[in-house]
């Protein structure tokens, strides 16, 4: 069976199919660009898990592992400055999760691609995974996006209805273009309606139009003059004797033209109101009005409307017909959507604002966030592949949920709030672990996914020649080759001949192409590695690479920094190192250039050979009380 690949939204700090990270407002157009092994147009995307009916492994397709919009996404991401193994493992593991019926996993990368990765992805019809540059939780991750707002022309009644219907504490007031003009809260509205017995004139005042009054009352309009005119009116209930009616203009100092009379079916009060020329008469209780009275009102220019409510209710509702423009707070609290959540939490702790409006750079309303929202858990979830140390993880990883770790390196300092799935095996490649998961679950990867896992194993084990190689790597490489229909030796040639990193990049980018930070006994250091066919390209660029390594050490404030250049043909390496003299002098390998470049014969593995050697030097120095200090 086949299924079209679903689309999925993108995190605000990600970009699909591009090397350079985009701005925080960038959005992924389609999950296809971040999917786990979605074939290109030449191979229509499929996502099938066909149960085996004969005891054979089930066949699984490999499309976007995107979940429905309602489900939280989990990003399967490798280390910073990705290499072939971490990219291929991320794509393959997302496909594995999809095959197991666990949607919502999106393959991602934390850094730029390179010629080797591009060659592999082209070979197996797979687009570059989603670029995940930063997962630091931001205001946009917790804000309420579907914001209820009111226009400046809304009445108090309409604002109250919105607050009640949507159970909100703060109502943004906007113009037609979503620019925020102010906010309105239930407390501001309450202050407007609280009786002020010492100011009876203010209690009667309504600033509105007759059209707003009629709308608030759901009234029948019998006759109205200038219904949309904004004006100040004073409400009176015509409950007194006819002989005293009309004297209010003298006692309250309110002219008849600003008077609104509320009355029942008292013909005499209706007549007197027309004679003295009040602004409008509101007849309550949905009572009928004589045609003669309506005719007289037309001649006198007095508006007549009929309310369905009793007199007390009508009087209260008329007050709610006041427009909100004079009640709103124009000094409102706001925040940008890309402000880090940690910074916003500090701001909220010292703020009295009930809510902050989230505005973009143009001042347009994007969302709203309250103090309660700050307590929400961040939904971003990560599966770390090919690493487990936070110094190598995507920025912000320590502030989000680490759901799983799939790795084959030494254990670093990693703390999680909940128990997680942590698979760490001493094998040569993370792709070996993922391939083994497919096989153990009786699932058959597609040929393209199998080819990607072959590539990861070949690249990380130098085609099974690295000292990190195990029997499991070799066995799974053969298993995958049968599925992919690819000869491992031919694939290794294509991978290792895909271009020189040194020739294709400036020195600073060469050092960052496969760059890892480490910390041992409080000492921070880095080791970069490039693999070349011979050392010729390195010697042609040794001086600029040395200068770039010095700068990298200073910029990162490291005790020392190294570049391991490995010759795939001879299985030997050169080490370029910069650090304090007492550390450099302890390196026991032969000097090619004194105190800078060393000949590491038989050394090809950073993980299994070089890192243990460097950490042993640090332990010696610690014992001697000579630990190097971080630069700067």
**Does residue 177 lie within any of the structural domains?**
no
Of 469, 496, 523, which residue constitutes the final position of a domain?
Answer: 496
Say whether pLDDT at 56 is over 50.
no
Q: Sign of dihedral through CA atoms 45, 48, 54, 56?
A: positive
pLDDT reported for residue 423:
97
Are the C-beta atoms of 151 and 173 separated by less than 8 Å? yes
Contacts 24+ apart (CB under 8 A), 514-517: 514/81, 514/83, 515/80, 515/81, 516/79, 516/81, 516/392, 516/606, 517/389, 517/391, 517/392, 517/556, 517/558
pLDDT reported for residue 210:
94
**Does residue 631 lie within any of the structural domains?**
no
Count of other CB atoms within 10 angstroms of residue 239: 12
Are the C-beta atoms of 181 and 328 separated by less than 8 Å? yes
CATH of the domain at 560: 3.10.310.20
Count of other CB atoms within 10 angstroms of residue 126: 27
Q: Smallest Cα–Cα separation from 89: which of 105, 102, 73, 104?
A: 105
Say whether pLDDT at 65 is over 60.
no
**Does residue 107 lie within any of the structural domains?**
yes
**Does residue 413 lie within any of the structural domains?**
yes
Of 496, 521, 548, which residue constitutes the final position of a domain?
Answer: 496
**Same domain assignment for residues 527 and 489:** no
Percentage of the residues of the chain whose pLDDT score is greater than 70: 85
Q: Sign of dihedral through CA atoms 382, 383, 385, 390?
A: positive
Are the C-beta atoms of 139 and 339 separated by less than 8 Å? yes
Q: Smallest Cα–Cα separation from 629: which of 554, 558, 577, 563?
A: 558
pLDDT reported for residue 473:
97
Average pLDDT estimate for 238-242:
79
Say whether pLDDT at 10 is over 90.
no
Torsion-angle region of 505 (φ positive above 0: left; ψ -120 to 50: alpha; else: beta): beta
Average pLDDT estimate for 579-607:
91
Least confidently predicted of 303-312, 562-571, 620-629 = 620-629
Are the C-beta atoms of 557 and 523 separated by less than 8 Å? no
**CA–CA gap between residue 368 and residue 334 (Å, rounded):** 9
**CA–CA gap between residue 345 and residue 401 (Å, rounded):** 18
**CA–CA gap between residue 189 and residue 324 (Å, rounded):** 9
**Does residue 165 lie within any of the structural domains?**
no
Torsion-angle region of 36 (φ positive above 0: left; ψ -120 to 50: alpha; else: beta): beta
**Does residue 262 lie within any of the structural domains?**
no
Least confidently predicted of 65-69, 212-216, 272-276, 321-325 = 65-69
pLDDT reported for residue 319:
86
Average pLDDT estimate for 153-177:
87
Are the C-beta atoms of 368 and 358 separated by less than 8 Å? yes
**Same domain assignment for residues 616 and 512:** yes
**CA–CA gap between residue 245 and residue 259 (Å, rounded):** 12
**H helix or E strand, kind and range, residue 584:** helix 581-584
pLDDT reported for residue 629:
73
**CA–CA gap between residue 611 and residue 192 (Å, rounded):** 71
pTM of the model as a whole:
0.65
**H helix or E strand, kind and range, residue 497:** none
In sequence order, the 6+-apart residues with CB closer than 8 A to the CB of 98 are 36, 47, 49, 60, 62, 63, 65, 105
pLDDT reported for residue 13:
54
pLDDT reported for residue 628:
80
Distance of CA 345 to the CA centre of its chain: 17
pLDDT reported for residue 309:
95
List, in sequence order, every residue forming a beta bridge with 500; answer none if it has no partner. none
**Same domain assignment for residues 516 and 490:** no
Question: Domain tally for the chain?
Answer: 2
**125: domain range?**
14-47+57-137+380-496
Measured CA to CA in angstroms, residue 275 lies from 233, 237, 255, 259 at distances of 18, 17, 14, 13
**Same domain assignment for residues 491 and 407:** yes
Structure-model confidence comparison of residues 25 and 72, the more confident one? 72
pLDDT reported for residue 529:
95
**Same domain assignment for residues 489 and 514:** no
Say whether pLDDT at 325 is over 90.
no
Say whether pLDDT at 608 is over 60.
yes
CATH of the domain at 77: 3.90.1640.10
**CA–CA gap between residue 573 and residue 630 (Å, rounded):** 26
**Same domain assignment for residues 545 and 603:** yes
**Same domain assignment for residues 508 and 618:** yes
Q: Smallest Cα–Cα separation from 152: which of 136, 175, 168?
A: 175
**Same domain assignment for residues 457 and 476:** yes
**Does residue 315 lie within any of the structural domains?**
no
Are the C-beta atoms of 510 and 131 separated by less than 8 Å? no
**Same domain assignment for residues 434 and 540:** no
**Does residue 236 lie within any of the structural domains?**
no
- pLDDT, the chain, mean: 84
How does pLDDT run across 207-218, given as a tens digit for each residue? Answer: 899 999 998 899
Name the DSSP letter for residue 571.
T
How does pLDDT run across 127-142, given as a tens digit for each residue? Answer: 999 999 999 999 999 9
List, in sequence order, every residue forming a beta bridge with 562; answer none if it has no partner. 527, 577
Are the C-beta atoms of 423 and 429 separated by less than 8 Å? no
Of 437, 472, 496, which residue constitutes the final position of a domain?
Answer: 496
Average pLDDT estimate for 199-222:
87
Contacts 24+ apart (CB under 8 A), 119-123: 119/494, 119/495, 119/498, 119/499, 120/84, 120/87, 120/88, 120/452, 120/455, 120/459, 120/495, 120/498, 121/87, 121/452, 123/451, 123/455, 123/491, 123/494
**Same domain assignment for residues 22 and 127:** yes
**Same domain assignment for residues 614 and 550:** yes
**CA–CA gap between residue 470 and residue 618 (Å, rounded):** 28
Q: Reduced to 3 states, what is the DSSP secondary structure of residue 232?
A: strand
**Same domain assignment for residues 40 and 81:** yes
Name the DSSP letter for residue 174.
E
């Amino acid at each position: 069976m086949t299924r079209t690949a679903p689309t999925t939204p993108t995190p605000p700090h990600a970009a699909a199919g591009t090397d350079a990270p985009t701005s925080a407002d960038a959005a992924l157009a389609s999950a296809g660009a971040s999917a786990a092994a979605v074939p290109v147009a030449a191979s229509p995307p499929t996502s099938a898990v066909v149960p085996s009916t004969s005891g054979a492994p089930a066949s699984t397709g490999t499309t976007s592992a995107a979940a429905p919009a309602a489900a939280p996404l989990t990003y399967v991401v490798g280390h910073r400055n990705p290499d072939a193994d971490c990219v291929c493992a991320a794509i393959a593991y997302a496909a594995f999760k999809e095959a197991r019926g666990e949607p919502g996993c999106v393959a991602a990368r934390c850094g730029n691609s390179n010629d080797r990765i591009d060659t592999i992805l082209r070979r197996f019809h797979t687009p570059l995974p989603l670029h995940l540059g930063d997962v630091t939780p931001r205001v946009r991750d917790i804000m309420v996006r579907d914001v209820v707002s009111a226009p400046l022309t809304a009445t108090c009644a309409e604002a109250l209805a919105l607050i009640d219907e949507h159970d909100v504490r703060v109502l943004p007031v906007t113009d037609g273009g979503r620019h925020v003009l102010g906010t309105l809260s239930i407390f501001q509205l309450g202050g407007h309606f609280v009786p002020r017995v010492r100011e009876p004139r203010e209690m009667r005042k309504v600033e509105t139009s007759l059209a707003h009054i009629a709308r608030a009352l759901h009234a029948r309009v019998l006759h109205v003059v200038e219904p949309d005119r904004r004006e100040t009116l004073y409400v009176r209930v015509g409950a007194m004797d006819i002989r005293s009616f009309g004297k209010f203009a003298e006692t309250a100092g309110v002219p008849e033209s600003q008077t609104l009379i509320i009355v029942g079916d008292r013909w005499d009060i209706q007549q007197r109101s027309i004679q003295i020329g009040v602004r409008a008469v509101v007849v309550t209780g949905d009572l009928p009005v004589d045609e003669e009275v309506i005719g007289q009102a037309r001649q006198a220019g007095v508006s007549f409307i009929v309310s369905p409510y009793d007199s007390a209710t009508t009087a209260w509702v008329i007050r709610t017909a006041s427009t909100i423009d004079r009640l709103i707070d124009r000094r409102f609290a706001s925040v940008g959507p890309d402000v880090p959540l940690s910074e916003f939490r500090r701001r909220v702790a010292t703020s009295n604002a009930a809510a902050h409006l989230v505005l973009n750079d143009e001042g347009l309303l994007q969302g709203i966030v309250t103090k309660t929202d700050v307590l929400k858990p961040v939904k971003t979830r990560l599966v770390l592949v090919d690493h487990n140390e936070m110094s190598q993880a995507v920025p912000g990883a320590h502030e989000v949920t680490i759901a799983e770790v799939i790795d084959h390196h030494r254990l670093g300092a990693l703390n999680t709030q909940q128990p997680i799935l942590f698979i760490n095996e001493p094998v040569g490649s993370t792709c070996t672990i993922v391939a083994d998961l497919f096989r153990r679950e009786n699932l058959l990867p597609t040929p393209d996914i199998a080819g990607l896992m072959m590539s990861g194993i070949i690249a990380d084990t130098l085609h099974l020649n690295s000292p990190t190689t195990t029997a499991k790597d070799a066995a799974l490489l053969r298993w995958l080759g049968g599925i992919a229909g690819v000869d491992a030796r031919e694939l290794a040639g294509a991978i290792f001949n895909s271009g020189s990193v040194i020739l294709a990049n400036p020195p600073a980018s060469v050092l960052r192409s496969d760059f890892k930070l480490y910390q041992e006994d409080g000492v921070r250091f880095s080791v970069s590695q490039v693999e070349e066919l011979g050392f010729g390209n390195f010697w042609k660029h040794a001086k600029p690479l040395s200068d770039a390594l010095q700068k990298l050490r200073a910029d990162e404030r490291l005790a020392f920094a190294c570049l391991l250049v490995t010759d795939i043909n001879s299985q030997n390496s050169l080490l370029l190192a910069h650090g304090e003299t007492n550390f450099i002098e302890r390196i026991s390998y032969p000097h090619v250039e004194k105190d800078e470049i060393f000949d590491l014969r038989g050394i090809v593995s950073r993980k299994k050979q070089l890192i243990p050697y460097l950490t042993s030097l640090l332990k010696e120095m610690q014992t001697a009380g000579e630990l190097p200090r971080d630069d700067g």
